[in-house]
């Protein structure tokens, strides 16, 4: 064995320790027929509340109980209520219940609340909008017109 090891050390191992496989050509991958992603439709209803409204302090379950106790308002067990920045978002189980709630939307004004559908507006973020712009001649205050021009220029 010592002589064999010396021969291997001198000449090198004739075959590799890990055999390599030759690459087998594969047929070209078929183009996947994926449909273009559809825009998601926001089915939520938003209960907009003023900043100091007493219902803002309630949990979603507390709001549900509050609305159930009112004789003119109704929410089914299939509804789920989530807290959002402007009040609460209400998700209904079916389209019929959603339409019933939208029909009852004027009744929410009696409580100082507003029930409305989700808007289709898209929010854009414009980075680094300064409050003022200094030029060698003077200082300009940035107003809504300047911001709208910047949005138009960027998009």
Confidence of residue 37 (pLDDT cuts 50, 70, 90): low
Beta-carbon contacts of 67 under 8 Å, excluding residues fewer than 6 positions away, are: 73, 74, 75
76 and 59 in a common domain = yes
pLDDT 10s digits, 84-119? 888 899 888 888 888 888 888 888 888 888 988 988
pTM of this structure: 0.54
Distance from the Cα of residue 78 to its chain's centroid: 23
Average pLDDT over residues 142-147: 85
Average pLDDT over residues 69-77: 65
Average pLDDT over residues 117-139: 78
84 and 57 in a common domain = yes
79 and 53 in a common domain = yes
Task: Report if residue 65 sits inside a domain.
Answer: yes
- 53, 55, 108 from 118: Cα distances, Å: 21, 20, 17
**Token pair recorded at residue 61:** 């379950």
* Collapsed DSSP state (helix, strand, coil) of residue 60: helix
């Amino acid at each position: 064995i010592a002589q064999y090891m010396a021969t291997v050390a001198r000449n090198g191992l004739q075959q590799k320790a890990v055999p390599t496989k030759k690459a087998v050509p594969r047929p070209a991958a078929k183009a996947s027929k994926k449909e273009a992603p559809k825009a998601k439709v926001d089915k939520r209803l938003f209960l907009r509340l003023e900043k100091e409204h007493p219902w803002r302090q309630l949990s979603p379950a507390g709001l549900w109980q509050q609305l159930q106790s009112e004789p003119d308002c109704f929410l089914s067990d299939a509804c789920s209520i989530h807290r959002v920045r402007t009040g609460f978002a209400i998700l209904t189980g079916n389209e019929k219940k959603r339409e019933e709630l939208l029909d009852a939307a004027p009744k929410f004004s009696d409580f100082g609340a507003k029930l409305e559908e989700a808007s289709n507006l898209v929010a854009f973020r414009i980075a680094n909008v300064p409050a003022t712009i200094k030029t060698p001649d003077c200082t300009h205050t940035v107003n809504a017109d300047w911001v709208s021009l910047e949005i138009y220029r960027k998009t």
